[in-house]
Amino acid sequence: MLYSGRNAQNSDQSLKALQSASIAAGLPYTFILFWCAQSLYLLVREESGELDANRKAFCTFIVSFTDPIKLVLNTLVPGISLGRIIKKVGGYPFYDLGPRCAGAVWTVFFQFEYMLAIIFTLLGTVLYQWIIVGLSAFLGFGFFVGFLRSWVRSKYMIQHGDLITDCLVGIFLPMFAITQMQVHVENDELIDVLGNRSKMMEHEVEI
């Protein structure tokens, strides 16, 4: 960049370009440092005894490639898995109409918003302003994924994580976050706010 600016009318242009590039390259490290600081904060709380180091976590780590098929599907059509998760955990609007109805409505909603984000971003090749609209739609999708992850943690009494982490992984790693929730919902028993397992309650109702 310094070399390319040697023929510029203003000799400061190459230096400004180099400074801008260094700032842009350092932006991703801001989020990495944020996560490192948050991890250090949680570690200190564990060491002090405020948090239980063996508290319940998700069945799988957030970045997991153990089920590549689900990962690919959640990258292409995440609305289907999100609808199934809401159908299982409940607590979302339209759930009073029945789990199937709520699952179908939220499947369409999530998939529609995800496709809008992709379409508007592709339209950015024609008009730059569409990229902003696409990114806004994707941020909305990511926040919704984060809120659902927080709700899943609450329903399954998962104490690892917080709302900030949920939203960050929903924005930056949505396909991994959805797969993690899907695997956990399929392999763990739902727990209500009183700590009773749903299967035990269903058995008592049958008796």
Whether the predicted model's global pTM rises above the 0.85 cut: no
**How would you write the pLDDT of the chain (207 residues) with one tens digit per residue?**
556 556 656 667 667 777 777 777 777 788 788 878 888 888 898 888 888 888 888 999 999 898 899 999 999 999 999 999 999 999 899 999 999 999 999 999 999 999 999 999 999 888 888 989 999 999 999 999 999 999 999 999 998 888 888 998 999 899 999 999 999 999 887 765 444 554 444 444 444
Listing DSSP states for 93-118 in one string gives: TTGGG-HHHHHHHHHHHHHHHHHHHH
Contact present, 191 and 163 (Cβ < 8 Å) = no
**CA–CA distance, 170 with 167 (Å, rounded to integer):** 5
Contacts of 77 (CB under 8 A, 6+ apart): 111
Q: Quick one: pLDDT at residue 104?
A: 95
User: Going along the chain, which residue ranges are E strands?
Assistant: none
Burial class (CB in 10 A: 0-12, 13-18, 19+), 175: middle
Give me the residue spans of the domains in the chain.
Answer: 4-41, 56-206
